[in-house]
Amino acid sequence: MKHYLAALGLVLLQATAVLPGGQAPTAPAADVGKDVATLPKVRLIATGGTISNRTGSRLTADELLQSMPGLDRYVRAEAEQFANVASSELSIPQWLDLARRINAVFSREPDLAGIVVTSGTDTLEEMAYFLNLTVRSDKPVVIVGSMRNPSTLGYEGAANLLDGFRVAAEPSARGKGVLVVLNDDINAARDVTKTDARRLDTFQSRDYGVLGVVDSDRVVFHRAGVKRHTAATEFDVSPLKDLPRVDVILVYQGASGDLIKAAVDQGARGIVIASAGAGATSGTQRDGIQYAVSKGVFVVTSTRTGSGRIAAGRRERQDDDERGDGSLRIAAEDLAPLKARVLLMLGIAAKADGAAIQRMFMEY
């Protein structure tokens, strides 16, 4: 009996000798170290947001890394603190700095597999699309966030972060543009939008659907986007200090064109009209649009409906103003108003004419 209990104790001791995360060791220590050294290297660039906003203070980039048990099973993780604020507090110059930083890191560290960026969810879709147009690498850039803060029961930030690191390290994620990963779903930065103010499954791509999912055993992609992005982009933000002002004006019953005129008079270089249906305006907005065009301001027509395409070449009236280098009236295609604004800012900053900007809306 004594020998039996001793043997049983030895078996139990061996059974409990497991690595963090519950994985049993499969090799001597020297081999484990070698395996770790061959894991893909992924950089976390933290900007803040709800994912960091615990009661009384904000989690740092290093603390976010420490919040993910088992991370070292998948990647060699690094952390960098870019900012630590709500997403709506990030300025456009900070967006430009972030894009330049990501480009610089990829250029200087060729062994880096990918980058994870944390963001608040309120304006996450805008920043993600901006990076989709300005990061000039085909390596994965994965944007993550959370709907609940670290002091809240059910905080999902650590799970989203771990998913983001796994996607950034996944070879098949390369070349798919900037990706948004929350709630186990992988969405394209171009298509994704926040659809609910509270729910965990808020980020969706509506008619287009997810690109893939993060499951317990592996990362699975079902499709890839066909629009230009990242390594194929024509946008160079390296010399820019800011982007031109572009405002979004909503169409609603009896809307006044004075808001459009005021935006133009205050220095807007472009106006995005979030139109009713497939391009309709209301009230005196048509007069406001004509005023903008007369001042040389680009006007992009999008739809407020959340999906659907505004066809290039569409005109509210046959006598819409033209200028020699192309029309000032642009169709947003299927881009949502917020993302149409991002693309128009970059197009104007690139000194493109109307015809070139319309091409951009068709290609990106």
Q: At 67, which CATH number?
A: 3.40.50.1170
Name the token pair of 260.
């459009």
Compute the distance between CA of residue 68 and CA of residue 340 in angstroms, rounded to an integer: 36
Domain of residue 204, residue span: 15-232
Element (H, E) at 249: strand 246-250
Asked whether residue 132 is assigned to any structural domain, the reply reads: yes
Structure confidence at residue 105 (pLDDT): 98
Phi and psi angles of residue 167, each rounded to the nearest 5 degrees, phi first: -70, -40
Q: Judge whether 252 and 282 are in contact, CB under 8 Å.
A: yes
Q: Which of residues 171, 198, 232 is at a domain's end? A: 232
Residues 189, 147 share a domain: yes
Asked whether residue 146 is assigned to any structural domain, the reply reads: yes
> What order do you get walking across the sheet with 141-144 strand by strand?
76-85, 41-48, 112-118, 141-144, 179-182, 185-188, 212-214, 219-221
Structure confidence at residue 313 (pLDDT): 73
Compute the distance between CA of residue 56 and CA of residue 86 in angstroms, rounded to an integer: 15
Asked whether residue 258 is assigned to any structural domain, the reply reads: yes
Residues 227, 252 share a domain: no
Asked whether residue 332 is assigned to any structural domain, the reply reads: yes
281 catalytic? Reply is: no
Residue from 112, 218, 97 nearest 174 by CA: 112
Angle of CA points 123, 84, 243, to nearest 5°: 50
Asked whether residue 221 is assigned to any structural domain, the reply reads: yes
Q: Judge whether 301 and 314 are in contact, CB under 8 Å.
A: yes
- DSSP 8-state class, residue 51: G
Dmax (CA) for the chain in angstroms is 100
Residues 153, 54 share a domain: yes
Residues 344, 226 share a domain: no
CA dihedral 84, 85, 89, 90 (to 10 degrees): 20
Q: Which of residues 175, 207, 232 is at a domain's end? A: 232
Q: Judge whether 341 and 263 are in contact, CB under 8 Å.
A: no
Asked whether residue 153 is assigned to any structural domain, the reply reads: yes
Residues 61, 194 share a domain: yes
Q: Which of residues 210, 232, 254 is at a domain's end? A: 232
> What's 269's domain CATH number?
3.40.50.40
Low-confidence ranges of the chain (pLDDT < 70): 1-34, 314-326
- DSSP 8-state class, residue 23: P
CB neighbours of residue 93 within 10 Å: 12
Residues 162, 184 share a domain: yes
Asked whether residue 343 is assigned to any structural domain, the reply reads: yes
Residues 209, 251 share a domain: no
Structure confidence at residue 36 (pLDDT): 82
Residues 256, 220 share a domain: no
Residues 159, 276 share a domain: no
Residues 285, 254 share a domain: yes
Name the token pair of 13.
């001791």
Structure confidence at residue 35 (pLDDT): 76
Distance, first Cα to last Cα, the chain: 74
Residues 95, 211 share a domain: yes
Contacts of 72 (CB under 8 A, 6+ apart): 20, 36, 39
| Chain segment 209-251, per-residue pLDDT in tens | 999 999 999 999 999 999 999 999 999 999 999 999 999 999 9
Residue from 80, 171, 76 nearest 117 by CA: 80
Q: How many structural domains are present in the chain?
A: 2
> Strand 212-214 to strand 219-221: parallel, antiparallel, or no bridges (unpaired)?
antiparallel
Where do the H-state alpha helices sit in the chain? 2-16, 29-37, 61-66, 92-108, 124-134, 157-169, 258-265, 285-294, 337-349, 354-363
Structure confidence at residue 48 (pLDDT): 97
Asked whether residue 9 is assigned to any structural domain, the reply reads: no
Of 50, 121, 134, 202, the active-site residue reads 50
Residues 149, 21 share a domain: yes
Q: Judge whether 163 and 144 are in contact, CB under 8 Å.
A: yes
- Give 268: exposed, middle or buried? Use CB within 10 Å, 0-12, 13-18, 19+: buried
Compute the distance between CA of residue 1 and CA of residue 66 in angstroms, rounded to an integer: 45
Residue from 193, 280, 297 nearest 245 by CA: 297
- DSSP 8-state class, residue 231: G
